[in-house]
Amino acid sequence: MLTLDRLDHIVLTVRDMPRTLDFYTKVLGMQAVTFGAGRRALAFGRQKINLHHADAPYSPHAHLPAPGTADLCFITTRPLDAAMQHVRDAGVTIELGPVERTGATGPLRSFYVRDPDDNLIEIANALDAGA
């Protein structure tokens, strides 16, 4: 049987690379990186998000890559109220929250925003040590 350890990276298809990099670095605190032959990605923790431009996705790619089709949840250690204020101060509208949700390893307290491609971004605090 195949045993998986962790998620290494995901890929987002984006319309506007500079705008996407700006949002994820300034609002969510990720690090913009360049790898390979000028490819762009966002790094955080032990993960990264590779970015494919909608007009020229790298092969291989998803069957129907399209901007705005992702729904992602990120855990922050910053208190949620402070995270929400940071997002508001950055000019980003909070779509919903705070709300209680269930994460991969336990309960979460979350809020939701949209990135420049209208992907749904959930930002959450784990409500117990296991999450």
For the chain, the first-to-last Cα distance in angstroms comes to: 26
Question: Is 100 among the catalytic positions?
Answer: no
**What is the layout of strands, in order, in the sheet containing 120-126?**
71-75, 120-126, 107-114, 96-102
Which position among 122, 123, 124, 125 bears the catalytic label? 122
What is the rounded distance in angstroms from the CA atom of residue 67 to the CA atom of residue 63?
13
Catalytically annotated residues: 122
